Structure 1
Amino acid sequence: MSTPLTPPAPEPEREQSASEVLGAALGGAARRAGLDPATSGATHQVVWSAIGGVRGILESVLPSLAFVILFTIRPEPLILSLGVSVGLAAVFTAIRLLQKSPPSAAIGGLVAAAAAAGLALFTGRGADNFVPGLITNAVYGTAMLVSALIGWSLIGLAVGFLMGEGTAWRKDRRKRRAFLWLGVAWAALFFARLAVQLPLYLANEVAVLGTLKLIMGLPLFAPLIAVTWLVVRALYPRAPQAEQPPQS
């Protein structure tokens, strides 16, 4: 009498490593921003998508611009310029929610604007409205530089996830070198912002600080996005599509 076969025990699921989890998070964020090297698209279209189009530009520029203009015209009461800045961020968030579009960018901007305004109101210094931005540049610049120098570029992790190769890019000398220099380039952008803006913050030059923050924002961000996109597309060229046979 034959004994019934016992089905093999299922293999335990492999736990994701920290690099895979981080790569998935970074890659997901890049994909939501329209930066997916696996898809086709002209460079200018990719950059336009990454900055959010006209709406993204307005959400990024108008709150800070309104604060700078109003603070320059009338520094006191401080709550006036801060209130208008936060109010504009809230309007953009409400519009996204009403239109049922992804509100993450606007909500992020609203939270950042509210936190910065709260700090400035607490200290009574208009320059403190820019403290979160200074901290962000320092953190992002350090993370980009350190990760690139130790061979675990954050850009490489994101691209590896998007292209479905995980961390296999680390075995390719050409890719490792490219992601190293891309990481250094992004770190240089963040540290350049910090080097210019921190002395102005310490000198309490609010209007100049706000103006240079705008100038060193999207005008520098967009070209570097374009360079990053072109380098990644060169590292991962699309396979040529098979020609379709002519229909009779």
Structure 2
Amino acid sequence: MTDPASDGDEKAEDKNEATLLEQMGGVSGLLYSSLPVVVFVLANAFFGLQAGIWSSLASAVAIAVLRLVRKEPLQPAISGFFGVAIAAFIAYRTGSAKGFFLFGIWASLVYCGVFLGSVLVRWPLAGVIWNFLNGTGSAWHKDKPSRFGYDIATLTLAAVFAARFVVQRWLYNADHTGWLAFAKIAMGYPLYALALLVVVWAVRRSDKRLKALEEAREAEETETEAALRVKYSQRPNEA
């Protein structure tokens, strides 16, 4: 026999993990985010910078159309298109293929600073974003152990962005455009997947704690009500 409560907890945990994966774009998000980069590098190598720029934009548009036809969420495709468009514009303005990666490099530094700052002000973004997207309120923030778990998850994400900035900035300065493309892909979803494990741990830990606290509060209220009923029921006898 299995415990229905434990089965419910396992299903909730699986749902948490599935929801996080969906918010990251799912497994297909890895291919969608990598395709414009690969197309840019190949087209630039064989046909020049202009061809690389237009080919990457065309691939981003194709991904958006494909998502629309398959009735998949468009938000990842739209944000991906704008990211590619900004990267392509910078490459065009700088006249250098490595400029395609400049926006992502500095964006990683900004994200790292934002995530670190959120921990310093005691509102870790991993907790803020997750609970906002799922409409679960701010009870997690009032519970120090829950907030500590989200601190760890947020710092893990900050470390991912810091690693991306350091490595890719070094490759940019060394003019290794091909390796830049490889690093952008390898340090994208694969690193996010590792950070996701920490976020899932923090979410599960917080959910279990908040559920236990809520059950303890309800039990205490029940005991208090029962004690009051006993007290008032004895008053006529005492009289």
| TM-score normalised according to structure 1 size | 0.72
- What's 2:90 paired with? 119
Matched, 1:66 2:46: no
**CA offsets 1:87-115 (integer angstroms, 9 cap, x no match):** 11110111223344321111111111112
Q: Which runs of 5+ in 2 are unaligned?
A: 1-10, 213-239
**CA offsets 1:107-141 (integer angstroms, 9 cap, x no match):** 11111111211111122111110112112211111
> Structure 1 residues 169, 234: CA separation in 2 closer, same or farther (over 3 Å shift)?
closer
Partners of 1:100 and 1:83 lie apart in 2 by 26
**CA offsets 1:178-231 (integer angstroms, 9 cap, x no match):** 122211111010011000001111222111111111111111111211221122
The partner residue of 2:170 within 180, 196, 199 is 199
Q: Could you tell me whether the CA contact under 8 Å between 1:47 and 1:226 is conserved in 2?
A: no
The partner residue of 1:181 within 152, 164, 173 is 152
Structure having the higher helix fraction is 2
Percent identity (aligned):
31
Matched, 1:56 2:29: yes
- What's 1:41 paired with? 14
Larger radius of gyration: 2
Task: Name the aligned partner's letter for residue 164 of structure 1.
Answer: T
Q: Could you tell me whether the CA contact under 8 Å between 1:63 and 1:86 is conserved in 2?
A: yes
Task: Name the aligned partner's letter for residue 137 of structure 2.
Answer: E
Partners of 2:59 and 2:170 lie apart in 1 by 28
| TM-score normalised according to structure 2 size | 0.75
Q: Which runs of 5+ in 1 are unaligned?
A: 1-37, 241-248
SS at match of 1:236: helix
- Higher RCO (CA < 8 A, seq sep 6+): 1
How big is the alpha-carbon RMSD for the aligned residues of Structure 1 and Structure 2? 2.6
- What's 1:171 paired with? 142
Task: Name the aligned partner's letter for residue 84 of structure 2.
Answer: A
The partner residue of 1:152 within 123, 134, 137 is 123
Where does 1:228-247 land on structure 2 (aligned, <5 Å)?
228-237=199-208
Partners of 2:195 and 2:101 lie apart in 1 by 23
